[in-house]
Chain A
Amino acid sequence: MFVTQISIFLENVRGSLRNLTELLGESEVNLLALTIADTSGFGIVRIIVKGSDVENTLSVLHQAGYIAKTNKVVCVRVPHKPMGLAKVIAALDNAGISIEYSYSFYQKNFTDACIIIRPSEMEGSIIALEKAEINIVGQEEVDSFR
């Protein structure tokens, strides 16, 4: 029902993202999705990898001295057209659930877009999304993405 995300702490200095992506690339980790949240001092890089790659990715990161943690996020699939995302947000808002952050990724085989959401309440958000008949994407389906 949920998808595993890896968050990585980066200092906001030149070259840090390059070092990170090169490390992951050299370790044969393919990124399905990535987003960067930044402040003036530091950034958090959040990535989605295949479920079977999570453990290896974390150990590669820890061995290289990065601070990295996993957490669960919600992934939904919405029609790739106007009002697609708005319906999802409205469903959560109606249930009184707020969003810490959200980002999207697009699979070229689909006519749909995938949206990652970190809601304030995990279980509650699933109930609200199901009620609004939003298509929830689990880890298995994410793993089938290419």
Chain B
Amino acid sequence: MSILNPDMESMSSDERKALQSERLQATVKYEYANVPFYRERMDKHGVKPEDIRGIDDLNKLPFTDKNDLRDGFPFGLLAVPQQQIVRIQGSSGTSGHPIVTGYTENDIEVWTEMAARALAALGANSDSIVQVAYGYGLFTGGLGLHQAATRLGAMVIPMSGGNTQRQLMMMEELGTTILCCTPSYAIYLGEAARDMGILSQLKLKSGCFGGEPWTEKMRTELESLFGIDAMDIYGLSEIAGPGVSFECKMKDGLHINEDHIIAEVINPETGEILPYGESGELVMTTITKTGQPMIRYRTRDICMLNKEPCSCGRTTLRMSRLAGRTDDMLVIRGINVYPGQIESVLETVSGITPHYLIVADREASTDSLEVQIELTEDMFSDTISQIESLKNLIALQIKSVVGLQAEVKLVPPRSLPRSEGKSRRVIDKRRI
């Protein structure tokens, strides 16, 4: 559980501010000189590179968002000639058109260093056997953890996603000690291992789970299922893959690699910067990348930041677990609904494994909210009245947390769509 780069991860706050300020100034000058998109954006915004003298001037800079990447697809935001790009990563994008990010050799190195810090924090070293069950491809999960584990000298099993039977066979027979995949797939693997009766043969010690928002309840489930430490990791292809931030053994927020990234949290409606401890949209600026550096990139992920030093010894800013995405936000009868809110309700009502689906629909011009929940053994009873009262309790809690009457529907176990990658939390059937 070591700190891979104590010079960078545990530096004093003054040193860090000086380092970030120097790197931010350089990045802004570099972008202005090399990326017409940024030059025009900054000119339009009335800000020159020399106006940025340190991180306190960050808020003078305009935001960048997913639409800019979509409009500039594929190479509009590159700061270097295509010949210097050694890798393309990206995502399918929720609204159809893909977005891609070009990485130089330097950018791959930055990403690998960040992800290696994450794996080191959960105990990886040359003794480790790391099974990467994230997809390999444009999605950064697979290659990101692969590069990081290789950097640490661990033995990598590059399984990629899917093929559950073979995943478990390799896990058992090669003696995997660290599992890397999405948390929902990890639960799926654990349930399958339990059904096959091989859980006790596994040698897993820890898991590196990211790529989608998850909860403390899922952590407890994963840790007791596999008998491991389950840690969160965060990243996005536009900034770097997994490793942008990661949990240490304290499991109390994700340490942001601040020597490479500056993080802010803003009000998604107004763009105003929020104080530490307030929940809003995460905005990130890269300060060491050369291929496609991003300035004040709006991630659409909802979280809050914590400046308190961590007892692990790292001094970096920590971000909370993701509470959801601004994309996932549903507006139902004028009320904002985040999946994270529904999840917190399901967690407080004991005994519920958080497999659920939120369905928004519209009947006779009235919006409806349905929450489908997979029933567990603990929730089940031989009497209708007990099951109905549990449903009513959940509906009541949703009403008090969200402010909306929801139809709660109990469904059989494993009946909700569960992709082997990211799990789907929201379906919006409304035609607006």
Whether B383 contacts A65 by the Cβ 8 Å rule is no
A66 to B195, CA, bound (A): 13
Q: Given the known A-B contacts A46-B382, A100-B383, are A41 and B409 also in contact in the complex, defined by CB atoms under 8 Å?
A: yes
Select one of A5, A11, A69, A71 contacting B411, CB under 8 A. Answer: A11
B375 at the interface (CB under 8 A from A): yes
Q: Which residues from 64 to 119 on chain A have a C-beta closer than 8 Å to any C-beta of chain B?
A: 65-69, 71, 100-101, 118
On whether the beta carbons of B388 and A67 are closer than 8 Å, the reply is no
Pick from B377, B384, B411: contact of A37, CB under 8 Å: B384
- Which chain B residue has the least Cβ–Cβ distance from A39? B384
B73, CB-defined interface residue at 8 Å? no
Residue ID in chain B nearest A43 by CB atoms: B384
In Å, the complex CA distance between A39 and B385 comes to 11
Does the CB pair B384–A9 fall under 8 Å? no
State which size class the interface on B falls in: 10 to 19
Partner pick for A67 among B384, B385, B412, CB 8 A cutoff:
B412
Q: Tell me whether B383 and A42 are in contact (CB under 8 A).
A: no
Closest to B388 in A: A39
CB pair B382–A65 under 8 Å, yes or no, is no
CA–CA, A41 to B407, complex, Å? 11
Contact A10 B384 (CB under 8 A): no
CA distance A66 to B410 in the complex (A): 13
> Quick one: which of A5, A10, A42 contacts B382, CB cutoff 8 A?
A5
- Determine if A69 and B377 form an interchain contact, defined as CB atoms under 8 angstroms apart: yes
Quick check: A67 and B377 within 8 Å, CB to CB? yes
Bound complex: CA A71 to CA B377 (Å):
13
In the complex, A5→B382 CA distance in Å? Answer: 9
**B414 → chain A closest CB, angstroms:** 6
Would you call A65 and B414 a contact (CB within 8 A)? yes
Q: A9-B375, A39-B388, A100-B385 are in contact. Are A65 and B413 (CB under 8 A)?
A: yes
Q: Identify which of B380, B383, B413 contacts A118 (C-beta below 8 A).
A: B383
A138, B183: Cα distance in complex, Å: 48
Q: State whether the Cβ of A34 lies closer than 8 Å to any Cβ in chain B.
A: no
Which single residue of chain A is at the shortest CB-CB distance from B409? A41
Distance in Å from the Cβ of A65 to the closest Cβ of chain B?
Answer: 6
Beta-carbon contacts of B91-128 to A below 8 Å, as 1s and 0s? 00000000000000000000000000000000000000
A24 at the interface (CB under 8 A from B): no
- Whole-angstrom distance between the Cβ of B210 and the nearest chain A Cβ: 28
- Confirm or deny: A44 has a beta carbon within 8 angstroms of a beta carbon on chain B: yes
Please tell me if A57 contacts chain B, counting CB pairs below 8 Å: no
Tell me the number of A-to-B contacts counted with CB atoms below 8 Å.
47
A118 and B385 alpha carbons, distance in the complex (Å): 13
Given A39-B388, A67-B377: A9 in contact with B412 (beta carbons within 8 A): yes
Give the docked Cα–Cα distance between A123 and B375 (Å).
Answer: 30
Say yes or no: B376 contacts A67, CB within 8 Å. yes
Smallest distance from the beta carbon of B8 to chain A beta carbons, Å? 48
Q: Which residue from A7, A37, A41 sits with its C-beta under 8 Å from B410?
A: A41
B336 within 8 A of A: no
Residues of A near B377 (CB, < 8 A) are 67, 69
Q: Does B200 contact A (CB under 8 A)?
A: no
Asked if B410 and A10 make an inter-chain contact with CB atoms under 8 angstroms apart, the answer reads no
Q: Is B165 an interface residue (CB 8 A)?
A: no
- Say yes or no: A118 contacts B382, CB within 8 Å: yes
Chain A nearest CB from B13 CB (Å) reads: 52
Query: Which A residues touch B376, using CB under 8 A?
Result: 67
| A44 and B382 contact, CB distance less than 8 A | yes
1/0 contact trace for B374-400 toward A, CB 8 Å? 011100111111011000000000000
List 19 A-B residue pairs with CB atoms under 8 Å apart, sorted by A's residue number: A7-B380, A7-B382, A9-B375, A9-B380, A9-B410, A11-B412, A11-B415, A39-B388, A42-B387, A42-B410, A44-B383, A44-B384, A44-B387, A46-B382, A66-B412, A66-B413, A67-B376, A101-B383, A118-B383
Give 17 A-B pairs besides A11-B411, A118-B383 with Cβ atoms closer than 8 angstroms.
A5-B382, A9-B412, A11-B412, A37-B384, A39-B384, A42-B410, A44-B382, A63-B195, A67-B376, A67-B377, A67-B380, A67-B412, A69-B377, A69-B382, A100-B383, A100-B385, A101-B383
